[in-house]
Structure 1
Amino acid sequence: MSNYLELLKEFIKTDFQLRYKNSYLGLIWIVLKPLALFGVIYTVFSNIMSMDDDYMMSLLLGIMFITFFSEGVMMGLGSLMAKSGIILKIKFPREIVVFSSVTIAFIDFLFNMIVFAIFTIFTPVVITLPSILLFIAAIFSLYFLIMGAALFLSVIFIKLRDIHNLMQVVLQLFFWATPIYYKLEMLPERLQNIILLNPLTRILIAVRHGLITGGDVGVEDFLKLAPISLFCLIFLLFGILFFRNRVTKIAEYF
């Protein structure tokens, strides 16, 4: 087990370094991409309708949230193919490869959270201990969801390369089907109910409540999140089972 943990740490360290090795801006790209998207969307919508500080922070947090989801899924999807040389030579649990890729996306998200924390210095938000715990629970749920999706997709991608392009389209649909740049209350009730079927919506609601309007976080907020957290955990378990059942048959497709 200790050897596998060391291998995981080495994968994460190496991949993170290689990702920005030949880039002049390096780690700055981690925060530059979501900030650029935030700037464009905020500029457009601030000229269409009135915006308050809560909207600005909600938009920024939402973009960082969906960036973590999108990058985690896509990095996990291509992880087995990227490590095909090592996989063919060394025997180790293949889940480590997917786990390391998703974890790198999580590290990027943590860097973005530092930027968000800087924004909170200039914009009033309400953060309490219960709200921080709600945020952590929501992010764990999101991580489980991303990891589950990555486990499914990484194996499928080995045999079906078109899944890469298909997932780029699907992730765009998730962006529009998640209340990133709009408030859920702006939509007709029927459409709200449809958007709420998207698990990302309920997780994002908890994330925003935890870091922006957390003054009234109570037990009921954790109870609302619990079914989605359970769904994400079950989805992850199914992803692990699917992955372990199929991963032994992928070598011939590299």
Structure 2
Amino acid sequence: MKDILTALWNYRHFIFSSIRNDLRSRFARSRLGALWMILQPLAQVAIYSLVLSRIMATKLPGIDNRYAYVIYLMAGMVAWSLFAEVVTRSLTIFVENGNLMKKMSFPRVCLPFIISGSALINNLLLLMTAMGLFVLMGHAMSLAVLWLPLLIVINLAFSLGLGLILGVLNVFIRDVAQVMTVVLQLLFWLTPIVYMPNIIPERLRVVLEFNPMMHMVAAFQSVILYGRSPDFGALSVVAVAAVALLLCSLVLFRRAAPEMVDVL
């Protein structure tokens, strides 16, 4: 574990430059450039809002703002987009960079941290844009938003830990990426982003409690929409799971790294 952390520190300049190059390459020859990082999730929010805002607005008690559902939806999408991007890109990061891993000598563990850094920048831009829109909608931010950095760190750690495990497994079992594409779609609808938990029957709501992203999304919505501190009981469980996943993923990567290049 110490060797991995030392390698990450020694190659920190390589990681930062790779993050910059990754962001540039994703929007090369695009007129709107980095704006696509913001426009795509906002377009998704707009579609759901147009279809469901009148139905779901009545399910948000205690909120007078007529844009309450839009704010609720955007807060959930900010949390989900970071998780989904890190996990999705981590799934194929080693497979896609197989030639690079064979030709260059560098710590392979840098790769998932590069995509995590890129995803984090995307997510921060989306968050800042969303908060600007909230102000235009007449929704004042409270001091509860000071919890957002902690929520983002926990979300990123959980996503990176899970993504690194799946990325390593996908090197040896290529079906993992295909299966996870379906699982992520299912998990999105099992997470109260588009709908509220109070519309789910009580017996089914107990099942949703086992979904870590439900608690993560609820924490973002609590801080941004309701101006309240997150539920620290549920958040602490997600934080412990994030640390456990991150440690397990690094151990798994260290053991599998010598064989990964041969398989690729």
Pairing of 1:145-164 with structure 2 (within 5 A): 145-164=158-177
- Retained in 1: the 8 A contact 2:169–2:176? yes
Aligned counterpart, 1:183:
196
Distance 2:149 2:201 in 1: 30
1:229 aligns with 2:243: no
Structure 1 contact 159–253 (Cα < 8 Å) conserved:
yes
CA distance in 2, matches of 1:223, 1:149: 21
Partner amino acid, structure 2, of 1:98: P
- Residue equivalent to 1:53: 67
DSSP 3-state at the match of 1:212: helix
Residue 142 (structure 1) aligns with? 155
What is the identity, as a one-letter code, of the residue corresponding to 2:46?
A: G
- In structure 2, what is the equivalent of residue 77 of structure 1? 91
Task: Identify the residue that residue 119 of structure 1 maps to in structure 2.
Answer: 133
The structural deviation recorded for 1:110 is 0.8
Instruction: Give 1:238's aligned amino acid.
Output: C
Between the aligned partners of 1:125 and 1:136, the Cα distance in structure 2 is 20
Amino acid corresponding to residue 56 of structure 1 in structure 2: V
Once residues 168 and 144 of structure 1 are traced to their aligned partners in structure 2, the CA distance between those partners, rounded to angstroms, is 20
Which among 199, 213, 236 is matched to residue 200 of structure 1? 213
Q: Which letter maps to 1:134?
A: W
1:109 corresponds to: 123
Q: How big is the alpha-carbon RMSD for the aligned residues of Structure 1 and Structure 2?
A: 1.9
Q: Among residues 244, 253, 256, which one is paired with 1:243 in the alignment?
A: 253
Aligned to 1:168: 181
Residue identity opposite 2:188 in structure 1 = F
What is the CA distance between 1:50 and its match in structure 2? 4.1
CA distance in 2, matches of 1:61, 1:185: 17
Aligned to 1:40: 47
**Corresponding residue for 1:7?**
14
Work out which of the residue numbers 33, 37, 41 in structure 2 matches 1:30.
37
* Matched residue, 2:223: 210
Shift, 1:92, TM fit: 2.5
CA contact (8 A) 2:82 2:156 kept: no
Q: Counterparts of 2:244 and 2:90 in 1: how far apart (Å)?
A: 18
C-alpha deviation, 1:160, in angstroms: 2.1
Q: How big is the shift at 1:3?
A: 3.9
Structure 1 residue 200 displacement after superposition: 0.4
- Post-superposition offset of 1:47: 4.6
Whole-angstrom CA distance in 2 between matches of 1:177 and 1:151: 23
Change (3 A) 1:169 1:244: same
The CA distance in 2 between the partners of 1:18 and 1:205, in whole Å, is: 34
Offset, 1:81? 2.2
Q: Which runs of 5+ in 1 are unaligned?
A: none
What is the distance in 1 between the residues matched to 2:168 and 2:161? 12
**CA distance in structure 1 between the partners assigned to 2:24 and 2:130 by the alignment:** 23
Question: Counterpart in 2 of 1:95?
Answer: 109
Q: Distance in 2 between matches of 1:108 and 1:78?
A: 19
Decide whether the 8 Å contact of 1:178 with 1:195 is kept in 2. Answer: yes
Deviates more, 1:110-119 or 1:153-162: 153-162
Q: Structure 2: which amino acid aligns with 1:132?
A: V
Inter-CA distance 247–168: structure 2 relative to 1 (3 Å threshold): same
Percent identity (aligned): 27
Q: What's the CA shift for 1:249? A: 0.5
